[in-house]
Amino acid sequence: MKRQRIVAGNWKMNKTFDEGRDLAISIIQQLGPSENLAVLCPPFIHLNYLSVLTNGIANLKLGAQNCHFEESGAFTGEISAAMLKSVEAEFVILGHSERREYFKEAGELLAKKVDSTLKHGLRPIFCCGEKLDAREAGNQEEIVKQQLEEGLFHLEESQFSNVVIAYEPVWAIGTGKTASPEQAQEMHRYIRNLISLKYSSHTANLTTILYGGSCNPKNAKELFSQPDVDGGLIGGASLHATDFISIFNSFPVSG
């Protein structure tokens, strides 16, 4: 079994309904058949309509950018995993550094969100990554290890096999300052090794680990040619269909 390669677009808080529809249509028109998976993670308002548009396209899936851990109830402004499932979302981004920074999400809360996501048959795209000061102090491995231990490593191995990890160094997000392919590879290998120690080398080898942070059509090929980089979680460049498709087409042919 080969591990799945994925390019996911995190639209963040961008695109009105019409703009999102046009972007998705443009992506669909340019997306060729492929064994690799493209995932669109738009704001919630787009999911229902995009589920109709993408219906039947085998290599194009939908994801959300967040969800609450409770099943339902008085949580004004929140959305549940069951609701996301009901509009055909298959993935949920959790633990993004913007949620960690602006909404103080961390540790136990993220672990509960991961549990709810998996319970409803959705796959978490769990983000981890260090800030600039941690990188400069050489603490990136420690930080990422703690994030994975707090948010994911309570899972059983069979549950963990549904998780996608995104390594997103915070200093590279939206800054135009990409991690070098060597820096990305080093951290991805480190993460895979942690999974191997926690679960098994089999599970580690099958876990998709995405890189995120100023990934664009120019640098995607080199990043994706690293042995432990299985694709990307794309912010800014996912808002332009040709850029997103160009990144999607950046995997090495043989891999």
Q: Does 10 bind ligand 13P (CB under 6 A)?
A: yes
Q: Please pick, from the candidates 214, 219, 226, 250, the single residue that binds ligand 13P as defined by CB under 6 A.
A: 214
Helix axes 140-151, 107-119, angle to 10 degrees: 50
Residues 6+ apart with CB under 8 A from 74: none
Helix (H) or strand (E) holding 166: strand 164-167
User: Residue 131 CB, nearest distance to ligand 13P (Å)?
Assistant: 13
- Residues touching ligand 13P, count (CB under 6 A): 14
> What are 81's two structure tokens?
């995993």
Q: Please pick, from the candidates 7, 37, 83, 233, the single residue that binds ligand 13P as defined by CB under 6 A.
A: 233
CA-to-CA separations, 112 to 71, 122, 140, in angstroms, rounded = 11, 14, 24
Q: Does 212 bind ligand 13P (CB under 6 A)?
A: yes
Q: Does 234 bind ligand 13P (CB under 6 A)?
A: yes
Active-site pick, 96, 98, 105, 188:
96
Q: Please pick, from the candidates 134, 236, 244, 248, the single residue that binds ligand 13P as defined by CB under 6 A.
A: 236
Q: Please pick, from the candidates 23, 60, 64, 168, the single residue that binds ligand 13P as defined by CB under 6 A.
A: 168
CB-wise, 31 or 173, nearer to ligand 13P? 173
CB-wise, 20 or 236, nearer to ligand 13P? 236
Q: Classify each residue of 39-64 as buried b or exposed e, where b means 16 or more C-beta atoms within 10 Å of its C-beta.
A: bbbbbeebbeebbebbeeeebbbbbb
CA 130/CA 97 separation, integer angstroms: 9
Q: Could you list the active site residues?
A: 96, 168
Residues engaged in binding ligand 13P (CB under 6 A) = 10, 96, 168, 173-174, 212-215, 233-237
